[in-house]
Structures are given as C-alpha cells and as structure tokens.
Structure 1
Amino acid sequence: MPPRKHPAPNFYAGVPLDRADQRRADTDYIDRLVNDPACVIVPVWRTKHLITAEAEAVWLRRSEAGHLLETARVSLFLGLREETAYLAVDLSHLEEPEQDPVLGNRGSFQDLRAVGPIMDRRDSAILAYARGLAHWHARHGFCGVCGSATLSEKAGHQRRCSDPDCAAVHFPRTDPAVIMLVHDGGDRCVLGRQPIWPPGMHSTLAGFVEPGESLEEAVAREIQEEVGLKVAVEDVAYHSSQPWPFPSSIMLGFHARADFGALNTADDELESAAWFTRAALRASPENERFKLPRRDSIAWRLIEDWLAEG
C-alpha cells in the first residue's frame, strides 16, 4: 500500500507563528517582547477562548489588556507573527471573566470545538496551541518525581521542580494516538460508534499508542481489539497527523487494509461497528440515525479522502 503524498494540513495544524524556541531561555529578550504595547494577548479561560459573535478569535493588545498579565495564573509565550509576540494568559482562576471591561465587551468564552470548523484555520490553530499548553501547565503544578511545586521556565515551555535536591525538569506532554480508516481494498470500510458520542455519529477506530510499540503495530492491535480484524503492519499506510488538544493528543492518521469479514465488537470499546460502502456514506442522512464525524476532525479527513479514491 503506497503512502499518501503531501496531504493538506488538518484543522488545528499549521500554527502561523515562529515559535522562536532558541530564544525562550533569554529572559531579557522575552521581557522586551512581552512589554511591547503591540504584544498580542490570547486569553484562555478553563480551556475556552474569547470568540466574537461572528466566530472570530479576539486578539488583545498589551496596550489595552496589560492588566491581565498581573492576574493571570500563568503567561505563555507562543511565538512571533511578523515580529509581534503572541502570549497566552490563563485566566481560569476568575469566576466571571466576562465582567472584565476589556473581555466582556469583545466576545464570550467558547469551546474551540464548537466554533473551530468555521473559524479562520490559522487563528484556530493558534487557539488550539494555547489551549494545549495552558492545559499542561494547569495539571503539572507539582513534580511527578518528588511532589514539590514546579515553576514555569523557558517562557512557559518547561517546568522545573522547586526543590533544589530534585530540580527535575518537565516538558509539555502530548499523548500519541493512532486513528485509522479500515477498508477492504475495495468499496467497503469499517466505522464504529461509542455510546458517549452524539446520537447517530459513527467514526473511524482509534486508540493510544502503548509503550514499546510502533505506530503500525498500534494500528493493527487497536483494530483487532476493537473489531476483531487482523491487519498486517505492511498493510498500514500513514495518511497525516493532527494536533488535538482536547485535552492533549496528537492524532496519527492511517489507512489500513483488512480482509472483509465479520466484526467482533469489543463491548468495552464500542457500542457497535459495521462495514459501510462508499455509496452508503455518500448518501449519509447526517441525522440522529446516522452521521459522519465532525468536519474539523482527522477522522472526517480519513473518510473524505478514501471516498475520493473510489
């Protein structure tokens, strides 16, 4: 199965910032950027973002919202866009952030998954990046080695244990997960359904990569565990990847060929699974009886590209 070549970026990929990772430890440099009145502040509140009624991201300038830096739980340097710094600030400690005169007049805090599909994709990529980094900081305030408090370093891109006898360094975590469209090499593919999903939604199979496992092995294992089909690693082909900070995953997408046969659904994994033809998916009613996955997901992209091939 030949690999796909140069697929277009998925939603939430393609962050249009120079991350300037080589300058993060230069505190004087970062301070100059952050103190520039033109510095862009990206507010994050309990994993939500400030969005206008027109589904546009709200970018605040330091000149108008510098007071947010004084109260923020943590400030995170995201990178540069045309020499202007973007700084995420976590305001989750505020009970009603929209009462702030600057925040409340500009929009409301919304879940990115609710508006991401209709936003400018470069803007939604920045928000996803900010959300993922803020989420990691919120859950790593204490050292996993000794239990002492940790301190933010390198402009928010690492945390260090405050106990000098430990001083362990911790880096932002991203959990690798494989997601795959299983097909029979012809006109049929497998979709499953989890009971927690919206009514009617069916999607591709997926699962987390385990220690000591290659991505191809993870794909084959998850397929066998979830629907009982055997897949050879040489029949697994990489498609593309997608940052998915809901809360902290990188989705690694594949197409995988399996022989057509009966499915043995794992009750603890899926509510149901079945083979579907291209014709059936193209005629999807998109209602509470049957619908395809979210349009901003790599699952949709895997299905969409497979449909286009036949």
Structure 2
Amino acid sequence: MRTDERGAGPALPSRTLGRSGVRVTALGFGAAAVAGMYEAVGEDEAASAVEAAWDAGIRYFDTAPHYGLGLSERRLGAALRAMPREEFTLSTKVGRVLVPYDGGGEDRAAGFAVPATHRRMWDFSADGVRRSLEDSLTRLGLDRVDLVLLHDPDDHEDQAFREAYPALEELRSQGVVRAIGAGMNQSRMLARFLADTDVDAVLCAGRYTLLEQGALDALLPAAEAAGKSVIIGGVFNSGLLADPEQGARYDYAAAPEDVLRRAVRMREITESQGVPLRAAALRFPFGHPAVASVLVGARSAHQVRDAAEQFHRSVPDTVWQALRAQDLLAGGVPVPGRRVP
C-alpha cells in the first residue's frame, strides 16, 4: 500500500547515531520475529506487522541474513519498498554468508520455523563482508542500507577486528553505507569496539534490561564518553519481561525458575503502580543517555500496536522506587524520567 493512501503515523522521538548523521526513532522494529522466529509467520501477517510499525511512527527497522535464512530481509524489503526511502533508517548485519543447501528439513535448530534452504557460513573476511552486504541488498530489493553491523563475532574476534571492521570502515568512507558498528548478545567485545575502532553505534541484545544491566559496567560508560550510540535489543529478554509465565523464554531458552520468579515479582510491583511490566521494560533503557533506540521484535500488527502503546505510557518514579525497595533494581542504576525519551 502506498504511503499517500494511508494516514501518517504519530511522531516518535528520534536520535542521531554518534556523529554519523543517521537518525533512528527511539522505538525500532526488530525483524527477526516476522521471519518465523520460534514459530511460523505468514506473508500477510508479516506485512501487516511492518505496516503497523510504520503507522505507529516507527522509522527504524533492523534485520539480518541470519533471521529466517534471509526471509526477514526479503519480507522487510518487500514491505518497505512502498515507503519513501529517505523517511526510514534500515540496518542489516554481516558475518554470516548464506550458502544454498538441498538437505531439506527446517531451520528449527537455529530457532526459525522456515525451510532449511541454506546453510549459514561464518565469514568475517573483508570479501565476506562485501559479499554479505551485496546479497542482503539483493534480498531487500533496495539500493542501500544505512547502518551495517558485524553480527555475533564472539568466536571470531581477531578476524572481526583485523579484516571485517576495516572493510566496513572502507565502505563507509566510500559512501556505500552511512554508519557502521557491531551487534552482539554480550557487552565486553562491544566495549572493545567502542574503545579500539571508530564505529558509530553498537547493538547490545539482552544485556541492558530491567532484569540485568551488565552493559552498565563498561559498555554504556564507554559509549557516553566517546559520543557513540547504543541500540538496545532483547529488551524483553526473549519474551520473559513481556509475559512472565511458566514456560517463558529467557536468553533464547526456557527461563530458569529463579529468573522467572524475579520477573513475576517485578510484574506484581509495576502493576501495583498501574503500569504494565512491558511498559516499564520498554522505557527502562532510556535512563542512560547513550541509548538511542530500543528494538522490539513483533510478529503481528497487534504486537506492534501494543509495543507502541506501552512505549508512550507514563512510568512514574514510584515504579523505580518500588523496584529498588524490593532489591529488584540496584540503587546506582539510572532510570528514565516520566517523559518519552
């Protein structure tokens, strides 16, 4: 559907990633879920989720080849091609190259309910970075992405710094991409990227949430000192903070009982203050000034609209005070004010 046939969505606050000039809305759309993460998602449902994000004012969209073996990029690109390109920011990732595979079956072992048509091959070489980006642009059907992130180089640290990062820096200097960085589920190596390279931003998933704040030790202070930006993914810790019930996931697996009990107690406290746990979880990262955006993964239009509603809720100071009083939030952890960031 063309954007001029639909009403404009409500404005969301936006911030610039470091000194790159690339702006992201404070609430971003993570496109792993629409690629069948954990359970299958139909084409129409995925398209409706992206349209709902646009209508909610979201203008930052994140994807990766890893998500659904390229399905996320294909679906996101198909939905965004109808939108004015200058009005949205798009990020994808490099480090995994997709190689055709005819062994059949599904990609369940990697967490996606899609046919296993390809294999993921780790490749943090300079050629691998360039090939991955070219393949991503083909799947997206777009002429450019704005931000490219090295994806999960945990076991490839030396090559990532020695080969992959310089390749990204060259692409940025050539104007092929506007901003570069890294995205991981840990904070240690991301802090090294901030200290040892000229990245514009990093994406930290699951390590700065209402449940855990490991990124506060080094990553976030380093980003603030360097004038760089941090994008927060996994703000619901794989869904636990969205719905802390038995069987909920935490860090991509079943939540341990002690972690589940902690999340349930958090929900009791926030709801006693009239605030859904989802709203507190979404707003929490903005207590730190280095945080530019929070990504929310949604598989349906309903989930997108709920995320936008929770994002705009006012979270009174009494919520944070009550969490601190029950030793569920440390005294030195920064918290946001009442206003939307």
**Which TM-score applies when normalising by structure 1?**
0.30
Q: Which has the higher helix share?
A: 2
